[in-house]
Structure 1
Amino acid sequence: MLLHDINPSIKALAVVVCVLILSVFFDPVTPSLTLVITIAVTFMFGRVSIKKWLLLFSPFLFMAFIYIWSAILFSRSAEEETILWTWGILTLTEEGFQRALSLGLRVLSFTSLSLLFILTTKPTEFLLSLMQQCRLSPKLAYGIMAGYRFLPLIKEEFEIIRSAHRIRGVSKARSFSEKIAELKRYAVPLLAGAIRKAERTAMAMESKGFTGDKNRQFYHKITVSKKDWAFFAIMVSAVLLSAYTSWQLGYLQLYNGEL
Structure 2
Amino acid sequence: MTVDPYAEGADIAGGAASPRFLYALNPLAKLAAPLPAMLLLVFVRDLATPLAFIALAYVTLLIGMRFTRTIALTLFVALPVAVAIVGFGLAVWTDPANVSHDVVVLQIGGWTLYGGAVQVGLATALRLVAIVALALIAGTTTTGPDLARSLVQQLRVPYRVGYTAIAAFRFVPRFRHELDLIRQAHRIRGAHGGRGPFAAIARGAGYVVPLLAGAIRHAERVALAMDARAFGAHPTRTERHTVPFRARDVVFILIFWAVSAALFVLV
Residues in 1 aligned to 2:36 and 2:186: alpha-carbon distance in whole angstroms: 50
Task: Give the CA RMSD over aligned residues.
Answer: 2.8
Q: Following the alignment from structure 2 to structure 1, what is the Cα–Cα distance between the partners of residues 216 and 229?
A: 20
Secondary structure, aligned partner of 1:91: strand
Deviation readout 1:36-69 (Å, 9 max, x if unpaired)? 111112222x132164422223323322211111
Partner of 1:60: 79
> Cα deviations across residues 113-152 of structure 1 (Å, max 9, x unaligned)?
1221122223222111011112223223222222322333
1:135 match: 156
TM-score of the aligned structures, taking structure 2 as reference length: 0.79
Matched, 1:15 2:15: no
Is 1:47–2:65 an aligned residue pair? Answer: yes
Partner secondary structure for residue 237 of structure 1: helix
Q: Which residue number in structure 2 is paired with residue 27 of structure 1?
A: 46
| Separation in 2, partners of 1:222, 1:165 | 41
- CA deviations 1:166-205 (Å, max 9, x no partner) are 3434233778777665444311111111111121122223
User: Is the contact between residue 173 and residue 182 of structure 1 (CA under 8 Å) also seen in structure 2?
Assistant: no
For residue 77 of structure 1, the aligned residue among 75, 91, 96 is 96
Q: 1:102 aligns with which of 109, 123, 128?
A: 123
Match of 2:250 in 1: 229
Aligned-partner residue type, residue 49 of structure 1 = F
Counterpart among 205, 208, 226 of residue 205 in structure 1: 226
Q: Which runs of 5+ in 2 are unaligned?
A: 1-19
Q: Which has the higher contact order (CA 8 A, sep 6+)?
A: 1
Q: Take 1:126 and 1:26, find their aligned partners in 2: how far apart are those partners?
A: 33
**How many correspondences in the alignment?**
245
Counterpart of 2:42 in 1: which secondary structure? helix
Percentage identity across paired residues of the two chains: 28
2:177 to 145, 156, 161: 156
SS at match of 2:206: helix
Residue number in structure 1 paired with 2:110: 89
TM value normalised by structure 1: 0.81
Partner secondary structure for residue 222 of structure 1: coil
Other structure's SS at 1:223 match: coil
Q: Which moved more, 1:18-27 or 1:59-68?
A: 59-68
| AA in 1 matched with 2:40 | I
Q: How big is the shift at 1:229?
A: 2.6
8 Å contact 2:91–2:121 — kept in the other structure? yes
SS in 1 for 2:262: helix
- In structure 2, what is the equivalent of residue 252 of structure 1? none
Deviation of residue 31 (structure 1)? 0.4
Aligned partners of 2:103 and 2:116 also within 8 Å: no
Aligned counterpart in structure 2 of residue 220 of structure 1, from 234, 238, 241: 241
- Residues 212 and 82 (structure 1 numbering): CA distance in 2 closer, same or farther, change over 3 Å? farther
- Residue 147 of structure 2 corresponds to 126
Are the aligned partners of 1:8 and 1:121 in contact in 2 as well (CA < 8 Å)? yes
Does residue 145 in structure 1 map to residue 140 in structure 2? Answer: no
Cα displacement (A) at 1:8: 0.8
Q: Which residue of 2 aligns with 1:253?
A: none
Tell me the secondary structure at the aligned position of residue 115 of structure 1: helix
